[in-house]
């Protein structure tokens, strides 16, 4: 996990050295658009959802406090789900632009100009991104919704917050690692590979989520730094460990 997070220290130097900034222009635009849409939705829907949840409280005493609590919890729920959607939509649509970044990093690290074992193109990269992230989106939502319900239980909600963070981190790292894996492994083998190296995926995802906590700048920098870090981690895993993830 620490190794997955540690690779972020090389990201800025590697991006500048290999001239990768130009590849991030469209993904950054996509990130800003999706993030703005989700933020506006969260702001507009939190009051409505909070009012609906507050109807559960059938007494006059404490009604105002429960309504306030419901509104806050609604905002957290919407933002948590929004973050999941943000990750997977941005990663899926950015796949054709991130694959060349990963390939240049791999060539730099291995010294081989052509280190791929599977031929891909723009449309196949886009479809692979949609397929992987669509799968991960469904699974993450199925895991996240019960965790969010646990947040309504005092004391337990402390642990549910940590669990939610780790789940989000895993799937963020998963998506970032697949930009490299799609050139080497099939869809199913990539899933096995990430499962085997889930700690590295979580480490990369933690960096992804921490970057998003930085106002505005985080949305701009999250893909360049996290994809670069994940590419370094994945290339090293592919070259130092057996690819067979059974």
| Residue-wise pLDDT tens digits, 127-156 | 999 999 999 999 999 998 888 777 667 676
Residue 154 DSSP symbol = T
Mean pLDDT across the chain? 84
Highest mean pLDDT, choosing among 111-115, 153-157, 236-240? 236-240
Q: Is residue 53 part of a domain?
A: yes
- Please give the residue range of the domain that contains residue 37: 2-240
Q: Is residue 228 part of a domain?
A: yes
Q: Is residue 173 part of a domain?
A: yes
**Tally of CB atoms within 10 A around 104:** 17
Q: Is residue 37 part of a domain?
A: yes
Degrees, nearest 5: CA angle 146-150-152: 130
Buried-exposed string 15-50: b where 16+ CB fall within 10 A, e elsewhere: beeeebeebbeebbebbeebbeebeeebeeebeebb
Q: Is residue 245 part of a domain?
A: no
Q: How far apart are CA 120 and CA 137, in angstroms?
A: 23
Is the pLDDT confidence value at 158 over 70? Answer: yes
What is the percent of the chain where pLDDT is above 70?
84
Q: pTM score, two decimals?
A: 0.83
Q: How far apart are the first and last CA of the chain?
A: 21
Q: Is residue 82 part of a domain?
A: yes
Q: Is residue 246 part of a domain?
A: no
Q: What is the number of structural domains in the chain?
A: 1
Q: Is residue 21 part of a domain?
A: yes
pLDDT at residue 25 in the model = 93
Displacement of CA 8 from its chain's centroid (Å): 15
């Amino acid at each position: 996990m620490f190794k997955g997070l540690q690779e972020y220290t090389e990201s800025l130097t590697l991006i500048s050295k290999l001239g990768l900034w130009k590849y991030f222009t469209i993904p950054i635009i996509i990130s800003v658009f999706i993030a703005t849409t989700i933020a506006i939705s969260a702001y507009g829907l939190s009051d409505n959802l909070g009012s609906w949840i507050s109807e559960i409280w059938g007494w006059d005493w404490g009604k105002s406090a429960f309504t306030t609590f419901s509104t806050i919890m609604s905002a957290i729920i919407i933002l948590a789900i929004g973050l999941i959607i943000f990750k997977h939509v941005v990663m899926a649509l950015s796949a054709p632009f991130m694959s060349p970044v990963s390939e240049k990093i791999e060539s730099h690290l291995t010294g081989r100009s052509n280190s791929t074992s599977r031929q891909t193109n723009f449309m196949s990269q886009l479809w692979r991104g949609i397929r992987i992230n669509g799968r991960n989106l469904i699974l993450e939502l199925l895991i996240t919704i019960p965790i969010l319900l646990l947040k309504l239980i005092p004391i337990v909600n402390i642990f549910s917050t940590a669990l939610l963070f780790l789940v989000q981190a895993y799937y963020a790292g998963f998506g970032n690692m697949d930009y490299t894996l799609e050139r080497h492994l099939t869809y199913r083998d990539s899933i096995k590979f990430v499962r085997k190296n889930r700690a590295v995926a979580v480490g990369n995802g933690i960096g992804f989520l921490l970057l998003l906590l930085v106002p505005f700048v985080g949305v701009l920098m999250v893909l360049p730094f996290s994809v670069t870090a994940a590419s370094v981690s994945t290339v090293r895993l592919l070259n130092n460990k057996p690819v067979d993830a059974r």
